[in-house]
Structure 1
Amino acid sequence: MVVRKKRKLLLLAGIINLLVLSLIGCKNSSTQVESTTWEYHRNPDEVGWSFDKLKKAKDYYDSIGSTAAMAIYDGKVLFEWGDVTKKSNVHSVRKSFLSALLGIYVQEGTIHLEETLNELGISDNVTLTMLEENATIADLLTSRSGIYLRAGEESLLMRWNRPERESYVPGSQFHYNNWDFNVLGTIFNNKTNSDLFEEFNERIAIPIGMEDYVLEDSIYKYELKRSMHPSYLFRMSARDMARFGLLFLQDGQWAGQQLIPKDWISESTSVQTPVPTSIEYGYGYMWWVADAKPFNELGLYSAIGRYGQSIDIIPEANLVFVHRVNSDRLINRTVNHVNDKKRLTLLEKVLDAHIGD
C-alpha cells in the first residue's frame, strides 16, 4: 500500500515537472535544442517582443502545415518551433546558396557577369541558337536568359508555362527558369575548376558553424533526358539555414571574417528585375526581393523553395526567420504545403509581435 502510494506521488511529481517545463518552453517561445552553439533570448518580452503575440503567431503556424520555424533576433534565437535539427530538401533555396558562392568568385575576378554562353562554351542536348548564346551570366542570375529548354527539377507548372524558344531577347524578360539556375552550377564548376558542394562546405558551412549539414547532404541530380546540366540539391536543417541567413544579415561577416563580399550582398539582394507575376517580390541574383509595402520598407529579401521552404531576412527588424515544411512526406507535398501567401502572413504575425526594445 505504501509502495503504491509512493508511486502515485512520484507520478504526480513527474506530471507537475512536465507541466512546469512546458510552461517554461512556452514562456521562451522555444524548445531549446541540446548540444548547440546558438545563444538564446531567455525571455522575449525583455528584448522587445510580445509573448502573447508570438503565441498567436505560433497558433497560426500550427494551423497551416508548417513543420519547423525559427527566428534569430540580434544574433540570438528568439524562438524555435518544431524540430529545427531535422534535415530535408531545401528545394530552390539552393539557388541563393550558389549566388553567395558566385559572389566570392566574381570579386576574385574568376567569374565575370558579362561573359556570354558562347564564350563559356555552354550547350545542351540541343544546340543553342545564336540568339540564345548571347545570354550572359547576369541574365542567368536574374532568370532573364531567354532560353526556354527542358531542365531538371521542373514542376509541372514550370513545364506548362515555358515560352517558345526565342520568344524574348536575352536580358529582356523575367521568366523563372530552372535551366538558367542549373547551368549556373555547371558554369561555377567549370570556371573555378572545383565543386560547388565542396566550396559551399569549405567557404560557408564550416566557417559559420553549421551543426547538422555535412557534405553528403548534397547531391547532383541528373535527368539526362531533359538536360545535360544537373540540379544541385541540398538537405539542411532549419537551424543551419538560419546561420546562412544570419551571415547575410551581417553583410557577409562571421566572427570577424568577410566570407561573402559586402558589395555582392547588397547587389544580389537588390531588385534587378521586376516580376510581373508577383505582388510581393522582385528578383535579384537568385534572391527574391520585396518591392511592395509593407515588406519593402523593412528591407525583406528571401530565399524561397517549393512547398514552403524559406530564409527570410528582415534588416530593419534585425531578424532572420526560417520556415520549413518537410517535403520528404507525401502529405506535406500534396496537402500541407505552405504557399507564399500563408508564409508571409505568418511572417507578418511574427513581426507584429515586435514591440520595440
Structure 2
Amino acid sequence: MKRLTYLFLSLTLVVSCASGDDLPDQGEPTNDSIYFPPLNSDTWETKTVSELNWNEAQLQPLLDFLEEKNSKSFMILHEGKIVVEAYFEGHTSTSPWYWASAGKTLTTAITGIAQEEGLLTINDKVSDYIGTGWTSSPLDKENLITCKKLLSMNSGLDDGLGDDISVSNLQYLANAGDRWAYHNVYVKLQDVIAEASNQTWSNYFNSKLKDRIGMTGAWIQTGDFNVYWSTARSMARFGLLTYSDGKWENEQIIPETYLEDAINTSQNLNKSYGYMWWLNGKSTYKLPQSQIEFNGPLISNAPSDMYAALGKNDQKIYVVPSKKLVIIRMGNSANNENFGLSDFDNQLWLRINALIN
C-alpha cells in the first residue's frame, strides 16, 4: 500500500456538534452554524466521525478505494469543519494540483461579482465588451451570444472542433440558445471581465475572491486557457463559500440571488446544468461531446440536492446542503481519461454513503 496520511481529529473546544440525527435535515444552511477557517492561517477546526455518529468502520474502505483510484487528496467538511482529510502518493496539504474544468465555477463566481459591481450584465452580448469578430460566425449570429449563454453552455458554437478557441475555430453551428454543448468558449468571460474591470483577469480574481476567503494558488497558462492550481484546502474554501450561499462569515462575496441561479437549471436543453455547475436530482442530463439526453439523475448514488464542480480526470467539488457537506477530490483519473463525470462518481458516492449514513 502506498503511503497514506489522513486526518480526522477531535475538536475539544466544541461542546455541541451535529449528530447523525441532524444529517437528513433539509433547508438552507445558516451562517450561525457554519465554521469558516481563518483567512491568514492554515489552522482549521475539525470534527470526528464518531462525533457525527457516522459509521467509522466504513472510513478505511473509503480511503482504500480513493488510493486505488489514483487520488491525490480527499476532504469532507461538515458545516465547514474538517471531518476527513486524506493525502496519497506523497501529496500533502501544501501540494498544489490542477482544478481542470472544476475551475469553471471560479469564472462563474467572478462573473456574478463583476455584475454586482456594475461592470457587466450577463444578458449583454459578449461583443459589447470584447468587440465583434471574436468568432467566425456571421455578425447577426455572433450578436446572439450573451455572457449568460457562455455561462450556461448554449452559445451555439461548434463544439466538435477541439479545444482551440481562436477566432477561426469558433464557428457557428446553431443559434445561441438553441443547442446545449459543453464548450471551452466560456473562457471568453475572463476576457470580458478583464476588459470591463480594466485590469488583468488574475488581479481581479485575486482581489475579489481569492484573497477574501484565504485561498492560495494561481492561474497557470496552459495552451489557450488559464488553469487554476491550488491545494485541496483552497478548493475546500471555495466549496465552503458556495455552500454558505456566497457569504464568508459576515461578508457577502458572491451575490446570493446570482448564486441561486447558478446552482439551478439555467436553460431547458440540459436540466442538469446551471452556470457551469452540474446539478444532481434532475429528470434528465446531457454530457460533454454528446447530444444524447439520458434519463435519470446525473449521479444516482448521490443526494438529489447535490451540485458539483467537475473537472477532467476526476477533479471534484461536491456540495450537499441537506447533509451539510462539502467534499473535495483531487488526483489523476480514477479510470480512463474523462471530461469530469464518470462511473467513479457513483462508486465514490456508494462508499461515502456507507460512511455517513
Q: Which TM-score band applies after superposition, normalised by the shorter structure? A: 0.7 to 0.9
Equivalent of residue 325 in structure 1, options 314, 328, 331? 331
Contact 1:27/1:51 (<8 A) preserved: no
Change (3 A) 1:285 1:347: same
Q: As a proportion of its length, which structure holds more helix? A: 1
Once the two structures are TM-superposed, the CA of residue 86 in structure 1 deviates from its matched residue by: 1.2
Q: Does 1:50 align with 2:85?
A: no
1:177 counterpart residue number: 183
1:354 counterpart residue number: 356
Q: Give TM-score, length-normalised by structure 1.
A: 0.74
Change (3 A) 1:55 1:175: same
Once the two structures are TM-superposed, the CA of residue 60 in structure 1 deviates from its matched residue by: 1.7
Q: Which moved more, 1:309-318 or 1:336-345?
A: 336-345
Q: Which moved more, 1:75-84 or 1:341-350?
A: 341-350
Q: Which moved more, 1:333-342 or 1:98-107?
A: 333-342
Q: Does 1:103 align with 2:105?
A: no
Change (3 A) 1:201 1:336: same
Change (3 A) 1:98 1:135: same
Equivalent of residue 267 in structure 1, options 244, 261, 271? 261
Contact 2:197/2:204 (<8 A) preserved: no
Contact 1:65/1:337 (<8 A) preserved: no
- How far, CA to CA, are the matches of 1:174 and 1:97 in structure 2? 21
Number of residue-to-residue matches in the alignment = 300
- How far, CA to CA, are the matches of 2:268 and 2:338 in structure 1? 29
Deviations 1:275-313 (A, max 9, x none): 66xxxx711111111134556754211111111111111
- How far, CA to CA, are the matches of 1:283 and 1:111 in structure 2? 22
- How far, CA to CA, are the matches of 1:63 and 1:296 in structure 2? 21
Deviations 1:93-148 (A, max 9, x none): 22100110111122232211221134332433746542132211111111101122
Unaligned stretches of 5+ in structure 1? 1-21, 30-34, 156-161, 224-229
- How far, CA to CA, are the matches of 2:269 and 2:213 in structure 1? 32
Contact 2:213/2:237 (<8 A) preserved: yes
Q: Could you say what secondary structure the match of 2:182 adopts? A: coil
Change (3 A) 1:175 1:55: same
Equivalent of residue 199 in structure 1, options 185, 194, 204? 204
Q: Could you say what secondary structure the match of 2:279 adopts? A: strand
Question: Which amino acid in the other structure matches residue 70 of structure 1?
Answer: M
- How far, CA to CA, are the matches of 1:153 and 1:275 in structure 2? 22
1:158 counterpart residue number: none
Contact 2:137/2:172 (<8 A) preserved: no
Question: Which amino acid in the other structure matches residue 231 of structure 2?
Answer: S
Deviations 1:44-78 (A, max 9, x none): 11123211122222222122221211111121101
Q: Could you say what secondary structure the match of 1:134 adopts? A: coil
Change (3 A) 1:295 1:139: farther
Aligned ranges 1:226-305 → 2 under 5 Å: 230-273=224-267, 282-292=272-282, 293=297, 294=300, 297-305=303-311
Unaligned stretches of 5+ in structure 2? 11-40, 283-296
Change (3 A) 1:125 1:74: closer
1:40 counterpart residue number: 46
- How far, CA to CA, are the matches of 1:237 and 1:219 in structure 2? 14
- How far, CA to CA, are the matches of 1:250 and 1:44 in structure 2? 22
Change (3 A) 1:352 1:298: farther
Once the two structures are TM-superposed, the CA of residue 167 in structure 1 deviates from its matched residue by: 2.9
Q: Could you say what secondary structure the match of 1:138 adopts? A: helix
Q: Which moved more, 1:345-354 or 1:170-179?
A: 345-354
Q: Could you say what secondary structure the match of 1:124 adopts? A: coil
Change (3 A) 1:72 1:112: same
Q: Could you say what secondary structure the match of 1:202 adopts? A: helix
Change (3 A) 1:303 1:26: closer
Contact 1:267/1:284 (<8 A) preserved: yes
Q: Which moved more, 1:190-199 or 1:145-154?
A: 145-154
